[in-house]
Amino acid sequence: MRGSFKGWRGGAANIEVGRALNELKKILAHGKWQRHIAETFARCGVTLRSAERYMKLARQADAVSTIDNLSTFGATDRAQAEVGAASGHKLTKAARRAEGIYQLPLRMTGDEKNAMDTLRKLPDWPRAEKTIIALLKRLLVKYGILDKDARRRS
């Protein structure tokens, strides 16, 4: 791991490091976190306190992102369509986003969250993930957000 943070600069990189550390902490057994940080990351100059700061930064960034997504979900596209229809102009779509992990703000019970965590740890997770993505794409087509041709291309 030595030198893995070399060349990483700026807020976005710090947030990504924090997200990775948050995921790592979830994976480690109870009581193993502090020792793991000391043994693995101290060589890179990342202390426990630094790791905690990165993690807090990532949680704050994700919280702001979730609030923004919840408050504008669907409203922007709908508003653009209405303005475009009323004005007779075709509005351009937003820039295409990079692929990666997308965190859905889903309301789930504690049991459902535990079951989802178990599912993600199974060796068959990649197949389950593909099934979930296919279901989401069908919903996007059903509600007119994605056309059928776009669903087939991806």
- Percent of the chain scored above 90 by pLDDT? 1
Is 57 in contact with 10 (CB distance < 8 Å)? Answer: no
- pLDDT of residue 77 exceeding 80, the answer is no
Indicate the pLDDT class of residue 3, thresholds 50, 70 and 90.
Answer: very low
pTM: 0.40
pLDDT of residue 39: 87
- pLDDT of residue 150 exceeding 60, the answer is no
Most confident of 14-18, 120-124, 145-149: 120-124
Please give the average per-residue pLDDT across 93-106, as a whole number. Answer: 70
Residues 4-14 have pLDDT tens digits of 444 445 677 78
Closest-CA residue to 61 (of 97, 10, 99, 24): 10
Q: List the structure tokens of 85.
A: 């229809």
Please give the average per-residue pLDDT across 67-90, as a whole number. Answer: 54
Residue tagged 């807090």 (tokens): 56
Indicate the pLDDT class of residue 104, thresholds 50, 70 and 90.
Answer: confident
- pLDDT of residue 95 exceeding 80, the answer is no
Please give the average per-residue pLDDT across 10-29, as a whole number. Answer: 83
> What string of DSSP letters covers the chain?
-TTTTTT--SHHHHHHHHHHHHHHHHHSPTT-HHHHHHHHTGGGT--HHHHHHHHHHHHHHHHHHHHHHHHHTTHHHHHHHHHHHHHTPPPPPPPPPPPS---------HHHHHHHHHHHHSTTHHHHHHHHHHHHHHHHHHTTSS-HHHHHH-
CA atoms within 13 A on the CB side of 101: 7
- pLDDT of residue 115 exceeding 80, the answer is yes
